[in-house]
């Protein structure tokens, strides 16, 4: 394993230990509101702290871009961290959340970890080497038709400027696909495309910390991932579409009709 990926895995496991310890006592957690339907807890912050400490112990000169504490440092290596992706699920005891850590080198994601402590699913990827689930190589599914596809998505719930377009796409997608699911943790949704549990995924308005790690999992597993114009600028817009090569194209056609 690449030494930087090894550090990312150690950091993700330390963050997850903080989260799982707290999951036994969720009734004592007091969520704070960052915005409409957007919550943060002391668990998100403590997990993030543990992750950053682990990374900076190994690489003190690297920069950090973390969801809760923001950016620090100046380096061509930037660690992009979502300490707890799926906070709403976590707060409800709904076991679908993860730690997501990506390393960017000169603006390109080179290492990725998405760790689901509820299932002990460790998804990792190194650029040019492939994507793995618990040390087994993973590939996107072989599904070719949208009609046979299980599609993941995320509903708009904090900002609603895209709600009409989203609803139209959702309506069309539910009629054209075999099924649509909204599990509630975008980093895991992308990991699920990478390992073939989903055949495709789309969501508006995600943040770099939600998608940086998952994007490398998808592409290293042989999937395609773009914004809704079919371009690679999804980290900027946060509008994300990905899937198996064939299903991706059919999803893009559906989405384009409503934008
Ligand atoms: C959220 C989850 C959710 C997605 C939201 C994200 P958070 O992350 O990934 O699935 O729909 O857009 O913000 O806030 O739980 O880290
Ligand atoms: Ca997130
Ligand atoms: Ca988060």
DSSP class of residue 188 equals H
Q: What is the distance, to the nearest Å, from the Cα of residue 171 to the centroid of all Cα atoms in its chain?
A: 24
Under a CB-based contact definition with an 8 Å cutoff, are residues 142 and 224 in contact? no
Torsion of CA 257, 38, 69, 115, to 10 degrees: -70
CA–centroid distance, 194 to ligand 2, in Å, is: 18
Place of tokens 């390393």: 103
CA gap 79, 101 in Å, rounded: 7
| Ligand 1 atom closest to 67 (CA) | 16
φ, ψ of residue 164 in degrees (nearest 5): -65, -45
What ranges make up the beta strands (E) of 177-252?
179-181, 200-203, 224-226, 240-243
- Tell how strand 150-153 and strand 179-181 pair up: parallel
What pLDDT does residue 147 have?
98
Domains along the chain? 3-137 (3.30.540.10), 146-256 (3.40.190.80)
Q: Which residues line ligand 1 (CB under 6 A)?
A: 82, 85-88, 154, 184-186, 203, 206, 210
Q: Which residues of the chain have pLDDT under 50?
A: none
pLDDT digits (tens, 9 = 90+) for 18-27: 999 999 999 9
What pLDDT does residue 156 have?
87
What pLDDT does residue 67 have?
97
- List CB contacts of 24: < 8 A, sequence separation 6 or more: none
**Degrees, nearest 5: CA angle 160-213-39:** 40
- Tell how strand 150-153 and strand 200-203 pair up: parallel
Three-state DSSP class for residue 149: coil
**Which amino acid residue places its CA nearest to atom 15 of ligand 1?**
86
Q: Find the distance separating the first CA and the last CA of the chain, reported in whole Å.
A: 42
CA–centroid distance, 168 to ligand 3, in Å, is: 27
DSSP class of residue 195 equals T
Report the 3 state secondary structure along 35-78. ECCEEECHHHHHHHHHHHHHHHHHCCCCEEEECCCEEECCCCEE
Probe target for ligand 1 pocket from 210, 214, 237, with the most ligand atoms within 8 Å of CB:
210
């Amino acid at each position: 394993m690449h030494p930087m990926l090894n550090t990312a895995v150690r950091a993700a496991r330390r963050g997850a230990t903080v989260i799982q310890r707290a999951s036994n006592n969720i009734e004592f957690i007091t969520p704070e509101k960052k915005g409409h339907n957007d919550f943060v807890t002391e668990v998100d912050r403590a997990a993030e702290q543990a992750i950053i400490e682990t990374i900076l112990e190994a690489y003190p000169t690297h920069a950090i871009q973390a969801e809760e504490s923001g950016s620090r440092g100046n380096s061509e290596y930037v660690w992009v961290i979502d300490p707890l992706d799926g906070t709403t699920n976590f707060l409800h005891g709904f076991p679908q959340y993860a730690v997501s850590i990506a390393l960017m080198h000169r603006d390109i994601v080179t290492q990725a970890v998405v760790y689901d402590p509820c299932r002990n699913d460790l998804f990792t990827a190194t650029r040019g080497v492939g994507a793995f689930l618990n040390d087994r190589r993973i590939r996107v599914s072989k599904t070719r038709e949208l009609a046979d596809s299980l599609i993941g998505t995320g509903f708009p719930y904090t900002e609603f400027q895209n709600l009409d377009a989203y609803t139209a796409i959702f309506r069309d997608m539910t009629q054209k696909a075999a099924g649509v699911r909204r599990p509630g943790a975008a980093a895991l949704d992308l990991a699920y495309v990478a390992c073939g549990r989903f055949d495709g995924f789309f969501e508006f308005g995600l943040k770099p910390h939600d998608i940086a790690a998952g994007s490398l999992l998808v592409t290293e597993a042989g999937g395609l991932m773009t914004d809704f114009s079919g371009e690679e600028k999804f980290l900027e817009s946060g509008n994300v579409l990905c899937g198996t090569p064939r299903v991706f194209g059919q999803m893009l056609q559906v989405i384009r009709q409503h934008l």
